[in-house]
Amino acid sequence: MVILILATFAVSPVSAADSVRRSRYMGTAIFSMPTGYARSATNYINDDSHSAFMLSQAMFGDLVELSVLKHLNGEFKGENPISVKIKLLEEAEMLPSIVYGVSDLATTLGSKIFYFAASKSIETFGVHLHGGFYKEPVTTDRKFFYGVEKMVFPLITLSAERVDEINTFGVKLSPYPGVSLEIGQRDAKEEIYNINYFRSF
């Protein structure tokens, strides 16, 4: 199964219709960029008045994560790109969890986006560190992203994400186990509201 998924990662033609929104929500994420974890989650996303629903399912334990993003309005309304992550390295005491992924596996929106992502938990300090890079589908430039999450109270986590020289800052509230309510602001002007339900950890 893994070999078949990897076989679909061949480079495909690039479309000029790609936009900044193409590089968001490639699977379970910090705010909008992928983490190095494979998880099962259900997400409602409201990103600067753009609404979407994402379903992510971990398979083969947590070796693979398959995600479907349904755009509810905006330029991609009705389109349902599929993304996949494959875990390359399991998180250990001194090692991060590392995944290789591809967004828009079936080229629903014009082209695939390939990426690597890594995540490391430092439980002693209540911190999660994330980072990675993806290949921009139009220019083919390598774009780096970074993120950090710091628990400040048992139910409150402060989070930040940086990608393509744009910062996102926000707060994640956990009123119930597995549920995360996220409020963020990207580039000091775009509001992000996410409701996440993690079905497994």
Here the CATH number for the domain that contains residue 72 is 2.40.160.40
CB 101 within 8 A of CB 86: yes
Q: Which domain holds residue 67?
A: 2-198
Residue 62's contacts (CB-CB under 8 Å, 6 or more residues apart) are 37, 38, 39, 87, 200
Least confident of 16-20, 38-42, 102-106: 16-20
What is the number of residues in the chain?
A: 201
d(CA 76, CA 60): 31
User: What global pTM score does this model have?
Assistant: 0.84
The total number of structural domains in the chain stands at: 1
Q: Which two tokens stand for residue 185?
A: 């602001």
Residue 152 has pLDDT above 80, yes or no: yes
Report pLDDT digits (tens) over 46-63: 998 889 999 999 999 899
Residue 45's contacts (CB-CB under 8 Å, 6 or more residues apart) are 25, 51, 52, 53, 54, 192, 193, 194
Average pLDDT over every residue of 73-97: 92
Average pLDDT over every residue of 159-182: 94
Nearest to 50 by CA among 29, 75, 78: 75
Report pLDDT digits (tens) over 105-139: 998 888 899 999 999 999 889 999 999 999 988 88
Average pLDDT over every residue of 11-20: 42
